[in-house]
Amino acid sequence: MRGLRLGPGGEFDTLRAVFAQLGSAGGRDLGDDCALVSLGARTLAISTDLSLEGVHFRTDWLTLREIGWRATAAALSDLAAEGADPLGVLVSLGVRDRGKRTTDDAVELMAGVGAAARSVGARVLGGDLARSPRLLVDVCALGTVARAVRRSGARAGDALWVTGRLGGAGLALRALQTGRRLDAGVRRRFAHPVPRIAAGRWLARHAARAMIDISDGLAGDAGHVAAASGVAVTLELDRVPCWPGVAPLGAARSGEEYELLVALPRRFAERDARAFRRATGVLLTRIGTCTHGRGVQMTDNGRPVAPPRGFDHFPAR
């Protein structure tokens, strides 16, 4: 399908096969953070994100409100990566049949959904409810944007920058998996991620060429930008801003960070990054470059390092 450029991996091989089967029914330019529909002077940005018990969350790790928040933040993060203004969310819930507790579960999940939507000025617009053997939260987020920032706009010579600090979500996940107690700040980072809506809007207004939210890990998502834009990407591991207690390689490997990786023109400088921080309260760090070629390379103080693989729902067996 013309315009379809996805990175490597079993999940994306599956998507390529699906899109090929859809043919003309699939439209053009599939594979970005959001579907984009022109509405005259503005564009409607639509993202859907599915969270499934046992795959994306565990109820012994998170409360139902936290599960609802995380699922909604993940969908809203895709709007942030387009530079969009959120309008609202549609939510489909699958809940277990537990009598009176069924209603309680739905109410608690939706309390988290509503809180996440309100945090960015959006509303819950509707949805669907069904009985399910496992909890399921499927969030469709809608927003509008004057100029969407695609994954495909990076050019050779652009610099790559990242918002915030990476590695907190991975640090929390490893602690939960091994039964270690979580520091309150690390737990909040994992359970209550903040979609970078204001950051995405600022970057869209200040010449962002390409942008993606970091959900599959820094190297994996950089690979999606490289594939979509037809460029090579070099990430400088020693520049990656890390969560306290996390090594740079661990920060680059960590998924579900929901920070933004953005390609900006060469003229964007440290003084602009300081202006960004004053406007948004969020750190912005230059961590790499785009060049002619393809794929992702990583260095550590100038020495080549093998990039860690991003998360893949369908890894090769």
**C-alpha torsion sign, points 166, 72, 233, 84:** negative
Among candidate residues 145, 163, 189, the one where a domain is terminated = 145
**Segments in the chain below pLDDT 50:** 1-3, 25, 313-314, 316
**How far is 277 from 284, CA to CA, in rounded Å?**
7
24: in domain: no
Indicate if 133 and 186 belong to the same structural domain: no
pLDDT for 1: 36
Query: How many contiguous H segments (helices) and E segments (strands) does the chain have?
Result: 9, 12
19: in domain: no
Among candidate residues 94, 112, 145, the one where a domain is terminated = 145
Indicate if 49 and 72 belong to the same structural domain: yes
Q: Which contiguous run of DSSP H or E holds residue 185?
A: helix 184-191
**How far is 294 from 263, CA to CA, in rounded Å?**
15
pLDDT for 98: 83
Indicate if 159 and 133 belong to the same structural domain: no
At residue 111's C-alpha, the angle toward residues 163 and 313, to 5°, is 55
Report the domain count for the chain.
2
Indicate if 35 and 55 belong to the same structural domain: yes
Among candidate residues 145, 167, 182, the one where a domain is terminated = 145
CATH of the domain at 290: 3.90.650.10
DSSP character string of 78-142: HHHHHTPEEEEEEEEEEE---THHHHHHHHHHHHHHHHHHHHTT-EEEEEEEEE-SS-EEEEEEE
Indicate if 278 and 217 belong to the same structural domain: yes
16: in domain: no
**How far is 30 from 298, CA to CA, in rounded Å?**
28
Indicate if 201 and 287 belong to the same structural domain: yes
272: in domain: yes
DSSP character string of 199-219: HHHHHHHTT--EEEE-SS-HH
**How far is 5 from 229, CA to CA, in rounded Å?**
8
pLDDT for 307: 86
69: in domain: yes
Indicate if 220 and 300 belong to the same structural domain: yes
Task: Answer whether 243's CB lies under 8 Å from 188's CB.
Answer: no
**How far is 147 from 273, CA to CA, in rounded Å?**
21
User: Edge-to-edge strand order for the sheet containing 85-95?
Assistant: 35-39, 42-52, 136-145, 85-95, 123-131
Task: Answer whether 27's CB lies under 8 Å from 132's CB.
Answer: no
288: in domain: yes
Indicate if 176 and 191 belong to the same structural domain: yes
Instruction: State the CB neighbour count (10 A cutoff) for residue 51.
Output: 19
CATH of the domain at 97: 3.30.1330.10
Look up the pTM and report it. 0.89
Indicate if 267 and 197 belong to the same structural domain: yes
Indicate if 139 and 156 belong to the same structural domain: no
**How far is 281 from 277, CA to CA, in rounded Å?**
5
Indicate if 156 and 296 belong to the same structural domain: yes
25: in domain: no
Instruction: State the CB neighbour count (10 A cutoff) for residue 265.
Output: 13
Indicate if 58 and 80 belong to the same structural domain: yes
**In this structure, what token pair is assigned to residue 69?**
């928040």
Q: Helix, strand or coil for residue 263?
A: strand
Residues of the domain holding 107: 30-145
